[in-house]
Structure formats: structure tokens, C-alpha cells
Amino acid sequence: MNATRIQPINVIGNRESNNEDDITSIEDLFSNHPDLNFEVEATDLAEATNDSSFAGYRAIRRTDNNDVMSIVKERYTPIQNSDIIEPLAEIVQQNNAKFIAGGVVSGGRKAWVQAELREPMVIKTKAGEDEIRNYIIGLIHHDGMGSNAILPFTSRVSCSNQFAAVRSASAGFSIRHSSSWEERVLEARLKFDEAMNINKDFNQAANKIALINMGDDEFKSFALKILPDLKPNKYAPEGRSFENKRETLHTLFKNGQGNIGQTRWDAFNAVTEYFDHYEGATRIHNAVERGDSIRKSMERRFMNSLSGGQTNNIKHKALNLLVN
């Protein structure tokens, strides 16, 4: 298998808390992760520069060091880290959870926190049991490039494969930069139980496919649906074959971490292991070849791993194919 395996998360240094005590409050979180404890404010650019050509635009900057996070239109309302983390802390306390990690990316332009629910899911497989840990992720954007969100997230302990609300694209609840963000935070609080139900649905689906046999021929047909060959088009006149990638998937199905190559659960984990650990390595290599720094490439991949993105859509498709 001509591929390199990398870890999907914690690629930007160690972000886990060093405090042995459980962290459930925003005060303790900021104490353990002081890089999260800053505020931003909006400055009218036309007034600040005395240049009317900037009318209608604002600079979002940190108040502690004056670093500019983004240039946005005047209707954009900045949200503080505490505005997202405080309701998340309430969710943590209500759901017997604890904060386990957090940090910032690109000088604070993006921030994130991670909490773990104390009760893991257990998938009964033909090889024994798989432990799936449940997390809550809070994403905060000060760069004008995305919505703030609180979303459920799960990870397979044996190999760190990630399932970011894989059963549904609506599992996370975005909190947009607008004057009505208070209502969005309230919505996140009220609907979080629904998001947790999605994790329960995933648990049921996983236990179902863990007991369904899958042979090599069925897996190869499944892999072709996940990674179909690219048909000829104006960008690739001769098309493109993904046979090598499908061979990697098959190897992971048979010998991936925690897999025995016998069930649909092994097939699902082959997909998640491939896109979490192998495909990402190729993208980082290609980005570095284009001139990006390794750190910048890993930061981008790190944030993508939290928010799901296209990779999560592929996992969602894989699970649906295997369940139905």
C-alpha cells in the first residue's frame, strides 16, 4: 500500500489540558487554555483611516494586541469566544461532560474547544468490541470565513477514525455573525439533545452493520461507489482512474487498525481510516509542493477535520450505503 498514515487531529501540537481536575466551567477552561481568553471588536475603517472609500467596511481586531483578524462589511457583528464557550459550558455541565482540549489557529482567527461525554458508545463486533467516544466541538471564526457552530463529534478509540455527526449534515447548529446571535445560541441549547440523538442513531447503525458479513466482491462494488473513476471532461480529457485508491481501501478493509475484513463495519472504518489518515497526507504534501508551509497545511486540515466538510459527506454516503 503506497500511502502514508497520519493522525487526523492534534496535528498542531498538544492541545490537551494538563490539569488533572475535570474542567467544566469557562473560567477553568480559560485558565488551562489562556490563548482562548481574548476579545475582539469592530472598528469602522472609514473613520479609522479618514478614507471614505472604506465606507461600509469594518476591521475585526483583537483588543489585547490589536491584530486584525479580518475586514468585513458593516452588517457583520463580531462574536466573542465566551459567547460560544459559555453556552457550550452549560451543555457540558448538563450532560456530565468535561472539556479536554482547546486552542487557536492563525493567531486567533479561528478558535475551537472540545468536550468529551463520559459515557462512550460500545459497538459489538465479530472481533470483540469497539469503543466510540462522544465529543462536543465548539468552532469560533473571527476571520469572516465561516459560521460559528456547536456540533457533536465521535471518534473510534482503536484508530482515531472520526465521525463528525456522520448520520446527518444538520447535526451541528451554526451560530452566524449577526445581530440575532442570541437566538441562535438559544437554538443550539434547545436542539442539542436532538444532536445527541443523532449519535444514538449512529450507534444503532454501527451495531447493525457490525454483524452483517461482507465479502471481497461486495466490498469492491461498494468501494467503486465511494471512489468512482472520473469520467472524461474538459479538465481531464482521458478521465482518471482511482483504482490505486480503491486498492488502498481494500487493504484497510482487510488489515486496517481494528479491522478483520469480514463485515460492513470493517468497510465503513476502511473509508474513515482512509480519508482521515491517508488522503490527508497526500493533500498536505501537495499543498507544500505549491508553496504552503507544513504548519499552514496542517492547520487547514485540522480545522477541516473538526467541521467535517466534504470528507464527512463521503462518510455519510458510505454509512447510508452500508445500512440500506
Question: Among residues 58, 77, 96, which one ends one of the domains?
Answer: 77
Give the model's pLDDT for residue 12.
Answer: 33
Within-domain flag for 281: yes
What is the Cα 299 distance to its own chain's centre? Answer: 12
Domain contains 312: yes
199 in any annotated domain: no
What local confidence, expressed as pLDDT, does residue 72 receive?
93
Beta bridge partners of 173: 150
Residue 313, in any domain of the structure: yes
Last residue of a domain, one of 29, 50, 77: 77
pLDDT given at position 170: 46
Q: How many domains does the chain have?
A: 2
Q: What is the pLDDT of residue 3?
A: 52
Which pLDDT value is given to residue 177? Answer: 53
Provide DSSP, 198-263.
Answer: HHHHHHHHHHHHTTSB--HHHHHHHHHHHSPPBPP-SSSTT-B--HHHHHHHHHHHHHSTT--SSB
Where does a domain end: 62, 77, 92?
Answer: 77
Please check whether residue 100 lies inside any domain of the structure: no
The answer to whether residue 50 is domain-embedded is yes
Q: Residue 299 is part of which domain span?
A: 209-323
Dist. CA 113–CA 103, nearest whole Å = 7
Could you tell me if residue 192 is inside a domain?
A: no
pTM (two decimals) = 0.74
Looking at residue 232, what is its pLDDT? 80
Instruction: Give, for all 324 residues of the chain, the pLDDT tens digit.
Output: 445 444 444 433 334 444 446 898 899 999 999 999 999 999 999 999 999 999 999 999 999 999 999 999 988 888 899 988 888 888 888 888 899 988 898 899 999 998 888 778 888 888 788 888 888 888 888 988 877 877 777 777 665 556 654 444 444 556 655 545 566 667 666 666 766 777 778 888 999 999 999 999 999 999 999 999 888 877 777 777 889 999 999 999 999 888 889 999 999 999 988 887 777 555 544 544 555 554 555 555 566 655 556 777 888 899 999 998
What's the pLDDT at 11?
A: 34
| Cβ count near 269 (within 10 Å) | 29
Which residue matches cell numbers 464557550?
85
Of 283, 272, 282, the residue nearest 315 (C-alpha): 272
Write the DSSP symbol of residue 277: I
Nearest to 164 by CA among 199, 197, 118, 116: 199
Please indicate, yes or no, if residue 49 is contained in any of the structural domains: yes
Q: Provide the pairing of β-strand 162-163 with 148-156.
A: antiparallel
Per-residue model confidence (pLDDT) at position 111: 92
**8 Å CB contact between 134 and 152:** yes
